[in-house]
Amino acid sequence: MNRETGGNAGPAGPLVMKFGGTSVAEADKLRRVAQLVDAGRECGVLVVLSALAGVTDALLGAGRKAAAGDGAAALADLDAIIERHRTVAADLCGPGVPASIERDLAAAVAELGDLLRGASLLGEMPARSLDVLAGRGELLSSAILADFTGATFVDARTVLRTDSRFGQARPCRDATRRLAQERLVPLLGPGAVVVTQGFIGADEAGVPTTLGRGGSDYSASLLGAAVDAREIQIWTDVAGVLTCDPGIVKAARPVPVLGYDEAAELAAFGAKVLHPATILPAIERGIPVTVRNSLSPEGSFTTISREAASGLPVTAIASRGPVTVVTVRTPRMLGGTGFLARIFEVFSRHGVSVDLVATSEVGVSATVDGAVDLSALSSELEAFAELRIERGRAVIALVGESLRRTRGVPARALTALRDTNVEMISMGSNEINLSLVVEAAEAREAMIRLHAAFFENGGAAGDDGDPADANAVAANGGGMR
């Protein structure tokens, strides 16, 4: 593993390649990752790696056992995790486990073993210690890949600077950019490969932190923006962003091109390929993001770019739930002023985030996260209005760049759901999102029907209700490649 290699970044910047846990689950998949990285190294590559599939969950499970007082079981779990990495390293880099990897494994046993024994004695695992535990999988997987490829290893905790909100740290963008320019850019010349980690960072004092589950995509975008990357590639186990969750709709297909706004809406409304905050740093720096399938690298993928948009009335369908619908009604709203401000000031004071909103002359309905405790909010609202709370709902979002400009989309959606009780309809302020609220138990069937209406039975509706020419382009894999 080379820790000294240098060089100067090319004029268009390096390529950032992020690989998720399913792409690095075992030695054979790490070999495939190495091949993909080698194919892109001409312009310099920064690899952002997740832990081996399942390792973060296993580490957190060991932490829970230790906090519950079962130190022996926690240490047994740690031994199994270490042995899994030893097996992968021997298979990938053998014969035998390289000495550098054995040192890394021994260091992990010593540090994490002390954390688990301490938590068992205390009966708790402090958040600060939990971040050290949870982030070790990324360090071990990236050390193995760096050793196998001869790449330069960089500990992300020396570059990605965050605040001290352990478990859900927020990045310090300016400090991260300064450190990346100092410590990464000089290593990323043409032909060079640097391997670092997703998910983890450190605060100003150097204490390890994590960005929260799913944070590896965010790491890739943050680091890509910080090194002025030419492209940020998110490698996963599906062929890009799909028209719907393939676990619900088997006919879901890749979307070739997405605008940033479309991608952000889909992420926010439950599309699982992207972390909701992933694309923000890329938006600001004008860096294209591609979502690709590591199991089929030559196949379809999705390009997300500030200069591109699908051009379709409905590009994809996403869902989120469970949500709760809170309806506040009072006749005093009729012709009055200030009631909406009063209502939402109560939401704000109780820290309840509002998503969709629909109003009438005497009432307002809003969706909130289904896990939120509404008891205090309800007590205050009921002092001056009638309140109805409906739990177990889901939001289905139809997202498309030309949705607002295309006639008949709401009618087509409601026709597809003619046997479903649609309780609330909202058009997003950015005019590319039509959201429908239904009972959570009906959401799956609603998604299937909507996908059939817009993608399987003639495609997205054009101005006259016929399939739009743009949809034919999408179906044939056209667009920015």
d(CA 387, CA 399): 31
Strands 363-369 and 424-427 turn out to be unpaired
Domain with CATH 3.30.2130.10 in the chain: 316-475
Per-residue pLDDT of the chain (481 residues; tens, 9 = 90+): 443 333 333 348 999 999 988 889 999 999 999 999 999 999 999 999 999 999 999 999 999 999 999 999 999 999 999 999 999 999 998 888 999 999 999 999 999 999 999 999 999 999 999 999 999 999 999 999 999 999 999 999 999 999 999 999 999 999 999 999 999 999 999 999 999 999 999 999 999 999 987 789 999 999 999 999 999 999 988 888 899 998 899 999 889 998 888 888 888 887 776 766 778 898 889 899 999 988 888 888 999 887 777 788 999 999 988 999 999 988 766 556 677 888 889 999 999 999 888 887 778 899 999 999 999 999 999 988 889 999 999 999 999 988 888 888 999 999 999 999 999 998 866 678 899 999 999 999 999 999 999 998 765 444 334 433 333 333 333 333 2
The C-alpha torsion from 272 through 249 and 302 to 472, rounded to 10°, is: -150
d(CA 138, CA 424): 43
Q: Alpha-carbon Rg of the chain, whole angstroms?
A: 25
pLDDT of residue 163: 97
**Model pTM?**
0.81
**Tokens standing for residue 477:** 């894999």
pLDDT of residue 6: 37
The beta-strand segments (E) located in 35-141 are: 45-49
Of the candidates 240, 422, 402, 393, the residue with the CA atom closest to the CA atom of residue 311:
402
List own/partner pairs for 75-80 with CB under 8 A and 24 or more apart. Answer: 75/113, 75/116, 75/117, 78/109, 78/112, 78/113, 78/116, 79/109
Strands 302-305 and 257-259 turn out to be parallel
Q: Which residue has the tokens 């998910």?
A: 199
Q: Which residue has the tokens 């109780």?
A: 350
Name the DSSP letter for residue 213.
T
d(CA 69, CA 320): 36
pLDDT of residue 210: 97
Cβ atoms of 160 and 223 closer than 8 Å:
yes
pLDDT of residue 4: 37
Cβ atoms of 415 and 249 closer than 8 Å:
no
d(CA 467, CA 475): 12
* CATH number 3.30.2130.10 is the correct assignment for the domain at 316-475: yes
Cβ atoms of 26 and 208 closer than 8 Å:
no
With a CB cutoff of 8 Å and minimum separation 6, the contacts of 103 are none
**Tokens standing for residue 72:** 């022996």
pLDDT of residue 477: 33
d(CA 44, CA 190): 5
d(CA 447, CA 402): 20
d(CA 367, CA 325): 4
**Tokens standing for residue 122:** 């205390």
Cβ atoms of 302 and 290 closer than 8 Å:
yes
What distance, in Å, lies between the first and last C-alpha atoms of the chain? 34
User: What is the number of H-type helices and E-type strands within the chain?
Assistant: 15, 16
Helix or strand or coil: residue 92? Answer: helix
> What are the percentages of helix, strand and coil residues in the chain, rounded to 5?
40, 20, 40
Domain with CATH 3.40.1160.10 in the chain: 15-237
- Distances, alpha carbon 216 to alpha carbons 13, 72, 124, 197, 362, in Å: 21, 31, 27, 8, 45
Helix or strand or coil: residue 6? Answer: coil
d(CA 458, CA 10): 46
Cβ atoms of 365 and 333 closer than 8 Å:
no
pLDDT of residue 467: 36
Q: Which residue has the tokens 């479309």?
A: 262
**313 preceded by cis ω (within 30°)?**
no
Cβ atoms of 133 and 208 closer than 8 Å:
no
Overall residue count recorded for the chain in this entry:
481
pLDDT of residue 475: 32
Q: Which residue has the tokens 């597809």?
A: 416
- For 238, phi then psi, to 5°, come to -130, 160
Q: Among 3.30.70.20, 1.10.760.10, 3.40.1160.10, 3.40.30.10, what is the CATH number of 15-237?
A: 3.40.1160.10
pLDDT of residue 179: 98
Name the DSSP letter for residue 393.
E
With a CB cutoff of 8 Å and minimum separation 6, the contacts of 213 are 56
pLDDT of residue 336: 60
pLDDT of residue 404: 82
Name the DSSP letter for residue 170.
P
